[in-house]
Amino acid sequence: MTNAPAVAAVLRKFGAALPRNTARALDIWSRRTATEIKRVAPTGRTRNLRRSVYGRGFLRGGRPVGLIVAPVRYAPFVEFGTRRRFVAPVRRKALRWIGKGIKGYAFSRGHFVGPSKAHNFFFATARKFYDQIAATVWRLCSAPLRIKA
């Protein structure tokens, strides 16, 4: 084989660029998916959940990693919902009201709060974009093999 050194050089170049290109593809996919998750996330009063979602792709220990995160602590409760639960006030002022036939205020020792609905905004949106990552990784990883004549 007369082109053996050239083929070996191309394969070395491909092997060296593979993790870097995969990380770049994961970064593109993570950012696009995070943008779509932000678009479909429930707003609420402050929009903190929507603002907190971000995506990144990077190399960790030489391995490509794609990460999409919603770091607010109540994100799992919005995604999966909650069951009916008992709420007890910590402060006296928290659950007080003017009772019927009572002079002054009536205080609660607690009460049950109904379940909250699951919104399924995070994982459902990420699954929609899952097929795109394979196509993007394939396109970027095959880039080093394109040889200009």
Q: Is the pTM of this model over 0.95?
A: no
Q: How far apart are CA 135 and CA 31, in angstroms?
A: 16
* 57 phi, psi to nearest 5 deg: -125, 135
What's residue 149's pLDDT?
42
N-term to C-term CA, the chain? 19
* Exposure class string for 7-16: b at 16+ Cβ within 10 A, else e: eeeeeeeeee
- Give me the residues of the chain with pLDDT under 70, please: 1-18, 92-107, 134, 136-149
Radius of gyration of the chain (CA): 26
**pLDDT the model gives residue 106:** 65
Helix or strand or coil: residue 6?
A: helix
What residues are paired with 96 via a beta bridge?
A: 107
Supply 78's token pair: 């919005």
Half-sphere exposure of 58 (CA within 13 A, CB side): 6
Q: How many helices (H) and strands (E) does the chain have?
A: 5, 6
pLDDT at res. 109: 75
pLDDT in tens, 107-124: 677 778 889 898 888 888
